[in-house]
Structure 1
Amino acid sequence: MLEFHLSTIVFTIINLLVLFFFFRKFLFGRVNAVLEERARLVQQELDEAKASNDQAKRLQQSCQEKLDHAHEEAGRILAQAQAQGKKEYEALLAAAQEDAHKVQRDAQNKLAAERETMLRDARQEMAQLALLAASQVARQRLDSESDRAVVQDFLKEAGEGV
């Protein structure tokens, strides 16, 4: 059975008190210091993590602003390139139209010149035919330059009347 002796109880209480003060002096102070240091380090790391997170958010916002600005710049450059391309297209189109008009004018001028040449050649042939016919009728040959001039004048007047 268990027996309770007052001396055993008192010695146990004294042992516990001595042990408690001993632990308190040598163990609890150091353990509390280690725990406080550990809590301080954890708080410091939390503060550093929060600062790093805030800095990362600022950098992300800055990068997003730069990206938005780059998109705006790209849009502006694209719009300028399209406007420049349209201007160049219109300039090339105008130049091509001017060239086409020039070719058309040149062709018309060339056609008019050829027509005049053909008319002149036809008049000369008519003059020669008229001289030939007149010489056959008169049975003489008309070679003089004055006779030819008279026939050409006649043909000019006849050509203007047509």
Structure 2
Amino acid sequence: MKILWENILITMIAFVILYWLLNKFAFSKLFAVMEQRRELVLGQLNEAKQTREQATVYVEEQKDALKQARQDAFEIIEQSKQSSSKQAHDLLEQAKLDALRMKNEAVRDIESERNKAVEALRTEIGTFSVNIASKLIEREVENNPAEQEKLVNQYLDEVGKKS
């Protein structure tokens, strides 16, 4: 194989001319497009990084909000328990007071009714006693006029002493 120096020289000259033409017309535009592409990719990477950081911050905020919501819910439940416990205690105390009041009223009513019954019995016993006494005195007086005068005098003496 024989090396043809002329072909190598022509190829080199063609290569230099091609390189010069490409450098003058194509490489600057090609490099400018590649630079724009690189800047676009870097911008998208920075944007993605910022978005990821924002998402991380947002996730942390959501975790804190969820934690706060759970704490608030727990406090509300505790307040509800305390409130219901207090209401139950208040209702129980009110029921005790009502029962005591009703018992006292019942005792007063019973005492009042007992007093009325005793008074009614006294009245009836007094009436019966007077009737019995009058019948006995009637029999005594009818049989003995001296006894009648003695009773009248005794009565007048007692009335005189009272006034």
What TM-score, normalized by structure 1, do the two folds share?
0.76
State the partner residue of 2:58. 59
Structure label with greater radius of gyration: 2
1:3-152 maps to which residues of 2 (within 5 A)?
7-139=6-138
Structure having greater relative contact order (Cα 8 Å, sep ≥ 6): 1
Task: Spell out, residue by residue over 1:21-79, the C-alpha distance to the aligned partner (whole angstroms, 9 max, x if none).
Answer: 21123212321221122112101110111111101110120121022112101211221
**How far apart are the structure 1 equivalents of 2:76 and 2:133?**
84
Unaligned segments of structure 1, at least 5 residues: 142-146, 148-162
TM-score for both structures, normalised by structure 2: 0.75
Aligned pairs, how many?
141
Percentage of identical aligned residues: 27
* Distance in 2 between residues matched to 1:139 and 1:112, nearest whole Å: 39
| Distance across 1 between alignment mates of 2:8 and 2:68 | 83
Measured on the aligned residues, the alpha-carbon RMSD in Å equals 2.3
Per-residue deviation, 1:106 = 0.5
1:116-162 Cα distance to aligned partner (Å, 9 max, x none): 11011111111111111122222269xxxxx8xxxxxxxxxxxxxxx
Q: Secondary structure in 1 aligned to 2:129?
A: helix
Structure 1 residue runs of 4 or more that deviate by more than 4 Å after TM superposition: 4-9
